[in-house]
Amino acid sequence: MMKETDIERIVEHLGGRGEDLPETAGDSRSEATRWKELDRIAGMMRDEPVIGTPAGLEELVMARVRAQRTSWWRAVAKVLLQPRTVSFDPLRALRSPISGQECSFYFIMVGVFYAVLSIVLMIGFGELGTTIAAPGWVRWQPQIALITAGCMVAIGLYLLKDGKTALRMARIGALVYLGFAFLNGIIVSLKWDIPVSAYVSLLSAIIGLPTGLFLIRTIQNCGKRYA
């Protein structure tokens, strides 16, 4: 019985167009004959003429490639996941011109933050609903956070186009966001006269005002490239 390592060593030489098999293959007469037979079978396969491809195969493939439609989720995944050579530096973004892609990144990140916040608020208000009846405007806070998230991500994706129109839209979006965040903080504290409302409005102001100012500043710096 041959060792597996010897078999592996001999197999490498099979079908090698007249190449002699290693010595190990000929330990006994019957073994040598068997290996020669395997070598000939391998050679038969190796010497088989190359089969041609059917005519028109390339055209058939290309017709199917042309007919391929990109689904919306694939397109979004492509935009979001494709590798980019962009560095993100929020402090530099406040001082010097930045690209549309970097600006887009900040908007998308704010969107992600609000998406998470909306989930937290939904869970929180769900628990709170059984003990404290919150007024209408306050109960809408999770949905407001969710809509803010959607708008921010949409602006971010639009900014990937890196054009003047996208920048104008982003500027309007950031101003609306800033104003709304400020008003939301005031309305919540006026509508809900319990100590927790102070925390909600404080949170809204702490998050909203600096974020809004940061986004406006990055848009200004992004716009400098077109000046």
Partner 1 sequence: MKQIDEGEIIGRVLGGDREAFAALVDAYKGPVFRLAFRMTGSTQDAEDLTQETFIRGFQSLGRFRAGERFFPWLYTISLNVIRNHLRKAKAQAEDSGGKGVLEAADPRSDPTEAAIGREQGRRMQGYLLRLPVPVREAVILRFYEGMSFEDITSVTGDTLSSAKMKVYRGLEKMRTMMEADGFSAPE
Residues forming contacts to partner 1 in the complex (CB under 8 A) are: 4, 7-8, 11-12, 14-15, 34, 37-38, 40-46, 48-54, 57-58, 60-62, 64-66, 68, 78, 81-82
Least Cβ distance, residue 24 to partner 1 (angstroms): 13
Least Cβ distance, residue 164 to partner 1 (angstroms): 23
Least Cβ distance, residue 187 to partner 1 (angstroms): 45
- Paired tokens of 90: 């929020």
How many CB atoms lie under 10 A from the CB of residue 225? 12
The residue (of 50 and 91) whose beta carbon lies closer to partner 1 is 50
Tell the burial category of 85 from Cβ atoms under 10 Å away from its Cβ (0-12, 13-18, 19+).
Answer: exposed
The residue (of 66 and 133) whose beta carbon lies closer to partner 1 is 66
The residue (of 45 and 133) whose beta carbon lies closer to partner 1 is 45
CA distance 210 to 25: 79
Least Cβ distance, residue 27 to partner 1 (angstroms): 16
Least Cβ distance, residue 28 to partner 1 (angstroms): 16
Least Cβ distance, residue 144 to partner 1 (angstroms): 36
The residue (of 37 and 89) whose beta carbon lies closer to partner 1 is 37
> Among candidates 26, 164, 162, 170, which has minimal Cα distance to 101?
162
CA distance 27 to 8: 16
> Among candidates 227, 86, 210, which has minimal Cα distance to 159?
86
Query: Which 3 state secondary structure label does DSSP give 193?
Result: coil
Query: Which 3 state secondary structure label does DSSP give 94?
Result: helix
Residues 193 and 210 sit within 8 Å (Cβ to Cβ) = no
**Which amino acid appears at position 9 of this protein?**
R
- Paired tokens of 76: 């979004």
The residue (of 34 and 92) whose beta carbon lies closer to partner 1 is 34
The residue (of 62 and 172) whose beta carbon lies closer to partner 1 is 62
